[in-house]
Homo-oligomer: A and B are copies of this chain.
């Protein structure tokens, strides 16, 4: 807020892109705000969701509160404060708030404390599958429940949870997470890109609130990933990529008895910054603890490569003032995700029991 001051008119050419963007705004929905493990009793976290600054806190008794990160009194961030028993206390004048936003104390004041104007805006909270979900419209009564992550609580599976951030819109991060062609190139040698390309069939199914790509006839992945996923197995690969409105990107692999499911819950912190909360569940012929040891650094390595590209992509959208994408068949899900998000934003979802289906062939290395 350092006075921006007047600016001389910008007169250089600058790029000519129209301000097109895949950013969509879907506030009447649940997003993961943090991992349960981040928020131990007594802890306070400041976090943005959809551009809204939130403060998350867990009381000594274990309850979680999610309030607008602004004291109603003098607008200091409550995330600077601390948990006092079952309340969150502002560091400036000591006002205290309950998990539902009620004002419990105004120091020095004689008389009633909890008045309507003194309440902090509160967000609905659910804790499940190891994540803290919030409903992104403050004060609203949710009309749905958060997405239930398959396998996350199934004792037959080992589940690893990770949180990472990328400089990219929810759309860009979701498309990246569910895109096949870049894996052979950007992540060359990790998944694909070693062998001669095979022609495979792709079947895309769109239900209006979610979309799925099934890859038929895909050879067993080469490289390190393939060897971990299914050592010594030569079974048929079943491979699905899914996007479920408004924030879930899911990759599923089955090879014989092996089952591998990565569910990424994407939370837009701001227009072009997204936090990805991943639950990676697997059931493999190897001991879970051993796979876990390899998997965590491997996942970070891959994601780091994606982070670099996403950041430069976003920087370029900033330089050019928007997106000017051209797509081909092999961008199997990107345009579907964009369309779903835009419809959800406008409140024009049209779902159906029978999906719209599109089939095409592509080369996979």
Interface residues of A (CB under 8 A from B): 1-15, 17, 19-21, 23-25, 27, 50-53, 68-70, 72-77, 80, 91-94, 106-110, 117-118, 136, 179-182, 184-186, 197, 199, 268, 270-273, 309, 312-330, 361-364
In the complex the two chains form, is B6's CB within 8 Å of A184's CB? no
Residue from B80, B108, B325, B329 in contact with A362 in the complex, judged by beta carbons closer than 8 Å: B108
Task: Return chain B residues, CB-CB under 8 Å to A110.
Answer: 199, 329, 361-363
Cβ–Cβ contact B107 & A185, under 8 A: yes
By the criterion CB–CB under 8 Å, are B77 and A8 in contact? Answer: no
Q: B330 and A106: CB pair below 8 A?
A: yes
The dominant DSSP class at the A interface is loop
- Complex alpha-carbon distance, A355 and B125, angstroms: 51
State the Cβ distance, A35 to closest chain B Cβ, in Å.
22
Closest Cβ neighbor of A3 among chain B residues: B270
Is there contact, CB below 8 Å, between B320 and A70? yes
Contact assessment for A80 and B312 in the assembled complex, using a CB-CB cutoff below 8 Å = yes
**Are A108 and B363 in contact, with the CB atoms below 8 A?**
yes
For residue A11, which residues in chain B have a CB less than 8 angstroms away from its CB?
A: 21, 23-25, 271
B4 touching A7, Cβ below 8 Å: yes
Expressed in whole angstroms, the Cα–Cα distance for A323 and B8 within the complex equals 8
Q: Contacts A6-B19, A52-B15, A92-B185 known; A330 to B76 CB distance under 8 Å? A: no
**Are A7 and B19 closer than 8 Å at their CB atoms?**
yes
What number of copies of this chain does the assembly contain? 3
A363 to B197, CA, bound (A): 77
Which residue of B is nearest A18, CB measured?
B6
A3 lies within 8 A of B14 (CB): yes
Specify the chain B residue showing the minimal Cβ separation from A324. Answer: B75
Residues of B within 8 A of A328 (CB): 106, 109
A94 neighbours in B (Cβ, 8 Å): 181, 184-185
**In the complex, residue of chain B having the shortest beta-carbon distance to the beta carbon of A90:** B185
| Contact of A330 with B5 in the complex, beta carbons under 8 Å | no
Closest 5 CB pairs of A and B: A6-B321, A12-B51, A3-B270, A1-B272, A94-B185
Bound-state CA distance A80–B312 (Å) is 9
A-B contact pairs, 6 of them (CB 8 A): A3-B270, A8-B321, A15-B53, A76-B312, A80-B309, A93-B179
Min CB–CB distance A314 → chain B (angstroms): 6
Once the chains are docked, how many angstroms separate the CA of A126 from the CA of B181? Answer: 36
> Do the beta carbons of B108 and A326 come within 8 Å of each other?
no
CA gap between A117 and B324 in the complex, in Å: 10
Query: Given B13, B50, B312, which contacts A136 in the complex, CB threshold below 8 Å?
Result: B13
Which residue of B has the minimal Cβ distance to A332? B108
> Which residue of the partner chain, among B25, B182, B363, contacts A13 with CB atoms under 8 Å?
B25
Given A1-B314, A314-B1, does the pair A271, B10 have CB atoms closer than 8 Å?
yes
| A197 nearest CB across to chain B (Å) | 8
Contact A23 B12 (CB under 8 A): yes
